[in-house]
Structure 1
Amino acid sequence: MIDTHAHLDGEEFAADLPEVISNATRARVEKIFLPAINLENVSKVLSISQNYPGICYPMIGLHPEEVRADYEEILAEMHRILFENLASTTVPHFIAVGEVGLDFYWSREFETQQLRAFEEAVRWSVETRLPLMIHCRKAQNELLGIMRPYKNELPGGVFHCFTGNQKEAADFLAFDNFVLGIGGVSTFKSSKLRTDLPAAVPLDRIVLETDSPYMAPVPHRGKRNESAFVVEVLHTLSQAYGVSDSELEHQTNQNVARIFGTL
């Protein structure tokens, strides 16, 4: 299995990261993708990826909730780091631009800055041919409005932490080579994903994720999430789609390979 989204650089894992990664590999999670959320975070995900080669893979991006008045300065530095990284032969290469997007759930104080920062991330994706790892909360119309002019140029990506309905899924999947990242919410009793996904989303348009340490799946709900728990998401989705665990595992791994290339 592949956990396409885990914040293993967080303080929640400072005391036992080696054990957490060992738990994941014992659970047959062979790869873990690490999004960046701010400038400080970039060096952390790179460091972890260097310490766990072939297991952990870094991304670079400015999370919408981290966007402030100084976003242009931060993006300029990230842009420099991105291209130095891609030219290097000694460090793990970034596999995606992310975690980027829009989030108007709590506030629209930095709405203009978020919109501009996300469009810059879209341009990086087009320029580098790296996929996007997209965060979207209470901002779908604005987000898709920014993406549409680049629709034919974008290499693809993941709409991370999808929890929407069939219509929202269809709007996202109108973008070729984009998939939905499905995590622990799918296991919650109140979630409609178990019916909406099979009704509207083909198996070749989903990938697995945990968003660790957040949103742990049942039966771990309320605890710190970790990559090993992605197996619960796999079980839930295989039952929802009426396929075996091994079939869902194979298909989601194929989907990852299609978007991120051979890692």
Structure 2
Amino acid sequence: MFVDSHCHLDKIDTDKLGTDLATIVKNAERKGVRHMLCVCVTLDQFRPMAAAVEPFDNVSLSCGLHPLYVKDEKTPADDFYKTLVELGADPRVIAVGETGLDYFYDPDSKAIQQQAFAKHIAAANTLKKPLIIHTRDAQQDTLAILKEGKAEKCKGVLHCFTESLEMAQQAIDELDFYVSLSGILSFRNAEELRATAKALPLERLLIETDSPWLAPVPHRGKQNQPAYVADVAKCLAEVKGVSIEEVAEVTTNNFNELFKQHV
């Protein structure tokens, strides 16, 4: 049984797929997906997201502000930490984020990205819930801000990981973090990422879809969905030279350990 540790169910275009969210969740269950973590990207979208997935007992939530949306956030800066803690106290919220730094797509907003990131870490420590980290072309600053904020207290995951082996090892060794792999692992040009995945201990890895984006092989070009996390697991099993059953068991145990769940 698999866990999709990072998806955006509320972003899936159900009209384009000609289906509804209940069917998408059922499709995932039929593929052996036991649980899904639906990840928030802006605070004003948290309540609509929570309402959309409320019927599904096998879907949990995160609460946070993606670094690429910090410039558009409507919550006043002085109220941001308080609002994040209030929303994050919802019992279905098991993580804070996604948060982090993205200097690849928006280097001009570095300063406000860093400020928001620090507040997420403080909120995660207050809530005693782990962080979900987005990092792109910002390895040194991401690790530095995590360490400065004492993120090892709440722990977390570097999601949809595409950065260096050295960064992953630092996050694991110094912050007690996990690393999550998406469908990118199966892409033809992802040799370096596969080498990184092979070098990292399975006991520190999670799997995800990041749906509706980044559909894995053999679904490239399609809208991604949680059912496809089984294909990510298959690819990881091939990379690690282990059975898909072992990948399923260990990554599910890792999810439970990090997020204090029993799925």
Name the TM-score, length of structure 2 as normaliser.
Answer: 0.90
Q: Which runs of 5+ in 1 are unaligned?
A: none
Classify the secondary structure of the residue corresponding to 1:115.
helix
In the alignment, does 2:53 pair up with 1:49? yes
In the alignment, does 2:39 pair up with 1:35? yes
Question: What letter is aligned with 2:36?
Answer: I
The residue aligned with 1:10 is 11
Classify the secondary structure of the residue corresponding to 1:246.
helix
Aligned Cα RMSD in Å?
2.1
Question: What letter is aligned with 1:146?
Answer: I
Alignment check: 8 A CA contact 2:85 2:123 kept? no
The residue aligned with 1:202 is 201
- Assess, with a 3 A threshold, how the Cα gap between structure 1 residues 75 and 137 changes in structure 2: closer, same or farther: farther
How do 1:1-263 residues align onto structure 2 when only pairs under 5 Å count? Answer: 1-10=2-11, 12-13=13-14, 16-53=20-57, 55-68=58-71, 73=76, 76=79, 79-80=82-83, 82-83=85-86, 86=89, 92-151=91-150, 153-192=152-191, 193-199=193-199, 201-263=200-262
Q: Which runs of 5+ in 2 are unaligned?
A: none
Alignment check: 8 A CA contact 2:104 2:136 kept? yes
- Assess, with a 3 A threshold, how the Cα gap between structure 1 residues 228 and 123 changes in structure 2: closer, same or farther: same
Q: Any idea what the Cα deviations from partners look like across 1:157-203, whole Å, max 9, x if unmatched?
A: 1100101232232233233431111010111111122222222x101
Equivalent-residue separation in structure 1 for 2:241 and 2:9 (angstroms) = 32
Question: By how many angstroms is 1:32 displaced?
Answer: 0.6
Classify the secondary structure of the residue corresponding to 1:109.
helix
- Identity of paired residues, percent? 32
Alignment check: 8 A CA contact 2:139 2:163 kept? no
Alignment check: 8 A CA contact 1:60 1:82 kept? no
Classify the secondary structure of the residue corresponding to 1:262.
coil
Question: What letter is aligned with 1:123?
Answer: A
Alignment check: 8 A CA contact 1:39 1:78 kept? no
Classify the secondary structure of the residue corresponding to 1:22.
helix
Alignment check: 8 A CA contact 2:118 2:149 kept? no
Question: What letter is aligned with 2:217?
Answer: V
Question: By how many angstroms is 1:85 displaced?
Answer: 5.9
Name the TM-score, length of structure 1 as normaliser.
Answer: 0.90
Alignment check: 8 A CA contact 1:62 1:75 kept? no
Question: By how many angstroms is 1:243 displaced?
Answer: 1.1
Question: By how many angstroms is 1:147 displaced?
Answer: 1.1
- Assess, with a 3 A threshold, how the Cα gap between structure 1 residues 124 and 36 changes in structure 2: closer, same or farther: same
Classify the secondary structure of the residue corresponding to 1:215.
coil
Question: By how many angstroms is 1:256 displaced?
Answer: 0.6
Equivalent-residue separation in structure 2 for 1:142 and 1:154 (angstroms) = 19
Q: Any idea what the Cα deviations from partners look like across 1:72-112, whole Å, max 9, x if unmatched?
A: 516826733643663x6xxx421000111111112222211
Q: Any idea what the Cα deviations from partners look like across 1:200-253, whole Å, max 9, x if unmatched?
A: x10111001000000000000111000000011111111111111111111101
Larger RCO (CA under 8 A, 6+ residues apart): 2
Greater displacement, 62-71 / 106-115: 62-71
Count of residues in correspondence between the two structures: 257
Runs of 4+ displaced beyond 3 Å: 69-72, 77-82, 150-153
Classify the secondary structure of the residue corresponding to 1:106.
coil
Equivalent-residue separation in structure 1 for 2:170 and 2:152 (angstroms) = 18
